[in-house]
Chains A and B, each alone.
Chain A
């Protein structure tokens, strides 16, 4: 982030004989790395030239350095292969080369001679087999090879690599059976095998993976049944195994996974019933069992899962009546189509918006056109009911006309004011049961609960009893073109970023509305306000130590999710106590992504770092010094 441009001069590097660490990351350096000069840097332990525009190949001379421990060249335009000589480096513990255009095989002896801890060559064009000795030093924690063309099997030795925490192998051409041991590694937190051609079954040794939180194996050829032992993974938050050939029942033990957030098993050949006892899924957000061979009815416990947002049970053989309690769930997506449900559609869903949710259930009946089968009953009966239908249609027509007129009359002035108002296409949250008009109606100064740099926040109690927080971004109708653009960016950034995130410690964004002169973000309402408001006011007494301690952990988990579990990772950039909000039980959630930027790859890297965000008192000293420097410079 120094905006250095040009080549790295050979002479500069060769003169630094006793240097231990070189950091050149986040500049606009281009050209090839120096070659011969590196041979002199016999003391070099850490080299970081990541996020530049360096091209050419990785110098053999650099890889030969005996003391080299950490090599970061990610996010450049490097080509060619990884030099074989790196195998001999006895001190190498970190090698990050992701986001380049590197090709060829990895040296087969890689990891043999050193205690490699962190290895990431993602987003390159590497091919060939995964080196068998990567964990030779027994210290490998991160193995990240995603989006390459690695082929062959996953080395058996990785199944014995007890130190592994993150294994990400998605989008390669790996085949064969996954080593038995890899399923049950004791420290493993993330296992991602998505989009390969792996086969075999999920080992029952998976019970050993006590720390496993994210298990992603979709898009492979896995077969056999899901082992009962999966229910022993107390930390499992995401289990995504769609698009495989899994058979058998969904084990009942799965119902006890209390941390489960997403369960996606669609496009398999699972049979049996949806297990009862799923009431333990307290945190479940997404349940997708579509396109299997499940039968039986929807278990009652499922209807008590208040956090459930996405429910897709389509294309199975489920039957029975759709319980009315389904209406209590706040679903963003509901798909029960192509099953054998019968009886009435719950009243709230019996409208055109949800037509597709119920299609293809021959036994379901409602007034919705297309859902009901066109039953060829005898003519007599049809004629008998014809006049009733005709009467109903006329009546409905009158009601509609009266309603529309009333609506027009009531909202004439309002409409004039808010002309051009429409929900943005970003995501439909119609299940919330309120319109943008209703939200706008309550945006009066009396309802303001907060005000920040980017806009005001209102508390809105909706007619359906729900309370939401609405953030109205300051409009800028008369601004020059450029400024309007940057305002739009702020909005888009927040919506794009937050809309995709679902985590217990991150404030939920319900929907957004967009109009010519205002932009609204509708969030879940946090009754206890911000940490700053409580901690630095007379209400401080409410926060005893156990509460404060829990707030710290909650907020840390939210941020950890943003940094480590989002792809691409998200830097919040405005962490402060007024952006940590508290729910009714003082659970903390991280909010306000107004200045969050997604950490992007090579090309956008420099651009995304060009604005310093944050609030005074929270900015790390380096950044503040930089502002100070600018300040002095301007006054000279």
Chain B
């Protein structure tokens, strides 16, 4: 309940940020090949399943096993964008424009090694995204 009230002030805004969350779910579907809701997850949905599986078993258990391993590194990066979009605080989710930019940068092979190590639920440095209000005009 504490968490509920802590989030209350942020979350009741049906705006661009809810689209971004939903889009994050679509990204997770593409990476995992799994539907958003499935009896397999028990009480959870896909987002919670991804988070808990990442915690307990690591990335390779999350990524769709039918996909060619040649693209593993790209998939990991796209996965992290999906996680970034589905963070629980709307304020920390990236804007759609930023999502496009990040997705396009995935093909660029140069990426700091630190990112490909243990995956954090969302990039801390991205949390400063100044576009969080999404200009209305």
Task: Mark A residues whose CB is within 8 Å of B.
Answer: 1-2, 23, 25-26, 48, 50, 72, 74-75, 93-94, 96, 98-99, 117-118, 120, 122-123, 141-142, 144, 146, 166, 168, 531-532, 535-536, 540-541, 543-546, 548-549, 551-553, 555-557, 559-560, 562-564, 567-569, 571-577, 580, 599, 601, 609, 612-614, 616-623, 625-626, 629
Closest beta carbon of chain A to B77's beta carbon, Å: 10
Contacts of A541 in B (CB 8 A): 66
Q: List 21 A-B contacts (CB under 8 A).
A: A23-B10, A26-B13, A48-B133, A531-B30, A536-B35, A546-B71, A548-B31, A548-B67, A556-B23, A562-B96, A573-B18, A576-B22, A599-B15, A616-B36, A617-B35, A617-B37, A620-B18, A620-B22, A622-B10, A622-B88, A625-B4
User: How far, in whole Å, are A574 and B22 apart by their CA atoms in the complex?
Assistant: 8
User: How far, in whole Å, are A166 and B86 apart by their CA atoms in the complex?
Assistant: 27
Q: Whose C-beta in chain B lies nearest to the C-beta of A548?
A: B30
Assess whether A573 is in contact with B30, with CB atoms less than 8 Å apart.
Answer: no
Q: Which of B53-61, B97-105, B117-125 contacts A (4 or more CB under 8 A)?
A: B97-105
Q: Whose C-beta in chain B lies nearest to the C-beta of A560?
A: B96
- Chain B stretch 93-137: residues in CB contact (< 8 A) with chain A: 95-97, 99-100, 103-104, 106, 130-131, 133-137
Main secondary structure of the interface of B (DSSP, over half): helix
Question: Contacts A548-B67, A621-B11, A622-B88 given; 13 further ones with Cβ under 8 A?
Answer: A96-B135, A166-B135, A535-B30, A536-B35, A543-B30, A549-B106, A555-B26, A559-B96, A614-B18, A617-B37, A618-B36, A620-B11, A626-B12
Query: Counting CB contacts under 8 A, is B14 at the interface?
Result: yes
Closest beta carbon of chain A to B80's beta carbon, Å: 13
Q: Given A613-B14, A619-B22, A620-B17, answer yes or no on A545-B130 (Cβ-Cβ < 8 Å).
A: no
- Chain B stretch 8-42: residues in CB contact (< 8 A) with chain A: 8-23, 25-27, 29-31, 33-37
Assess whether A118 is in contact with B106, with CB atoms less than 8 Å apart.
Answer: no
Query: Counting CB contacts under 8 A, is B78 at the interface?
Result: yes
Contacts of B25 in A (CB 8 A): 576, 617-618
Q: Whose C-beta in chain B lies nearest to the C-beta of A118?
A: B130
Task: Mark B residues whose CB is within 8 Å of A.
Answer: 4, 7-23, 25-27, 29-31, 33-37, 45-46, 66-68, 70-71, 74-75, 78, 86, 88, 90, 95-97, 99-100, 103-104, 106, 130-131, 133-137
Contacts of A93 in B (CB 8 A): 130
Assess whether B16 is in contact with A616, with CB atoms less than 8 Å apart.
Answer: no
A-B contact count (CB 8 A): 200
Closest beta carbon of chain B to A592's beta carbon, Å: 12
Closest beta carbon of chain B to A298's beta carbon, Å: 36
Closest beta carbon of chain A to B81's beta carbon, Å: 8
Assess whether B16 is in contact with A576, with CB atoms less than 8 Å apart.
Answer: no
Closest beta carbon of chain B to A549's beta carbon, Å: 7
Assess whether B11 is in contact with A577, with CB atoms less than 8 Å apart.
Answer: no
Assess whether A555 is in contact with B23, with CB atoms less than 8 Å apart.
Answer: yes
Closest beta carbon of chain A to B53's beta carbon, Å: 16
User: How far, in whole Å, are A23 and B11 apart by their CA atoms in the complex?
Assistant: 11
| Shortest 4 CB-CB contacts between residues of A and residues of B | A622-B11, A617-B36, A575-B22, A620-B21
Contacts of B134 in A (CB 8 A): 563-564, 569
Assess whether B11 is in contact with A553, with CB atoms less than 8 Å apart.
Answer: no
- Contact partner of B26 (CB less than 8 A), chosen from A74, A94, A580, is A580
Assess whether A571 is in contact with B16, with CB atoms less than 8 Å apart.
Answer: yes
Assess whether B137 is in contact with A575, with CB atoms less than 8 Å apart.
Answer: no
Contacts of A613 in B (CB 8 A): 14
Contacts of B33 in A (CB 8 A): 535, 540
B10, B13, B66: most-surrounded residue (chain A CB, <10 A): B13
Assess whether A623 is in contact with B12, with CB atoms less than 8 Å apart.
Answer: yes
User: How far, in whole Å, are A23 and B133 apart by their CA atoms in the complex?
Assistant: 12
User: How far, in whole Å, are A524 and B70 apart by their CA atoms in the complex?
Assistant: 35
Assess whether A549 is in contact with B74, with CB atoms less than 8 Å apart.
Answer: yes
Contacts of B71 in A (CB 8 A): 545-546, 549
Closest beta carbon of chain A to B85's beta carbon, Å: 10
User: How far, in whole Å, are A633 and B73 apart by their CA atoms in the complex?
Assistant: 46
Closest beta carbon of chain A to B99's beta carbon, Å: 5
Q: Whose C-beta in chain B lies nearest to the C-beta of A96?
A: B133
User: How far, in whole Å, are A616 and B44 apart by their CA atoms in the complex?
Assistant: 12
Q: Whose C-beta in chain A lies nearest to the C-beta of B63?
A: A545
Assess whether B137 is in contact with A123, with CB atoms less than 8 Å apart.
Answer: yes
Q: Given A2-B12, A122-B137, A569-B134, answer yes or no on A563-B96 (Cβ-Cβ < 8 Å).
A: yes
Contacts of B18 in A (CB 8 A): 571, 573, 614, 619-620, 623
Q: Whose C-beta in chain A lies nearest to the C-beta of B21?
A: A620
Contacts of B9 in A (CB 8 A): 23
User: How far, in whole Å, are A563 and B134 apart by their CA atoms in the complex?
Assistant: 8
Assess whether A117 is in contact with B26, with CB atoms less than 8 Å apart.
Answer: no
Q: Whose C-beta in chain A lies nearest to the C-beta of B4?
A: A625
Contacts of B97 in A (CB 8 A): 560, 563-564
Assess whether B16 is in contact with A563, with CB atoms less than 8 Å apart.
Answer: yes
Q: Given A549-B106, A552-B27, A553-B104, answer yes or no on A612-B99 (Cβ-Cβ < 8 Å).
A: no
- Contact partner of B36 (CB less than 8 A), chosen from A50, A553, A576, A609, is A576
User: How far, in whole Å, are A140 and B16 apart by their CA atoms in the complex?
Assistant: 23
Contacts of A623 in B (CB 8 A): 11-12, 14, 18
Contacts of A576 in B (CB 8 A): 22, 25-26, 36
Q: Given A541-B66, A552-B78, A560-B96, answer yes or no on A571-B15 (Cβ-Cβ < 8 Å).
A: yes
Assess whether B90 is in contact with A622, with CB atoms less than 8 Å apart.
Answer: yes
Q: Whose C-beta in chain A lies nearest to the C-beta of B81?
A: A552
Q: Whose C-beta in chain B lies nearest to the C-beta of A559?
A: B96
User: How far, in whole Å, are A611 and B18 apart by their CA atoms in the complex?
Assistant: 13
B71, B100, B134: most-surrounded residue (chain A CB, <10 A): B100
Contacts of B20 in A (CB 8 A): 559
User: How far, in whole Å, are A199 and B112 apart by their CA atoms in the complex?
Assistant: 47
Contacts of B88 in A (CB 8 A): 620-622
Q: Whose C-beta in chain B lies nearest to the C-beta of A572?
A: B19
Q: Whose C-beta in chain B lies nearest to the C-beta of A574?
A: B22
Assess whether B103 is in contact with A117, with CB atoms less than 8 Å apart.
Answer: no
Contacts of B104 in A (CB 8 A): 553
Contacts of A626 in B (CB 8 A): 11-12
User: How far, in whole Å, are A616 and B41 apart by their CA atoms in the complex?
Assistant: 14
Q: Whose C-beta in chain A lies nearest to the C-beta of B128?
A: A93
- Contact partner of A599 (CB less than 8 A), chosen from B70, B90, B136, is B136
User: How far, in whole Å, are A122 and B45 apart by their CA atoms in the complex?
Assistant: 41
Contacts of A546 in B (CB 8 A): 71
Contacts of A94 in B (CB 8 A): 130, 133
Closest beta carbon of chain A to B63's beta carbon, Å: 10
Closest beta carbon of chain B to A547's beta carbon, Å: 9
- Contact partner of A552 (CB less than 8 A), chosen from B46, B103, B136, is B103
Assess whether B19 is in contact with A563, with CB atoms less than 8 Å apart.
Answer: yes
Q: Whose C-beta in chain A lies nearest to the C-beta of B102?
A: A556
- Contact partner of B14 (CB less than 8 A), chosen from A48, A168, A612, is A612
Assess whether B66 is in contact with A553, with CB atoms less than 8 Å apart.
Answer: no
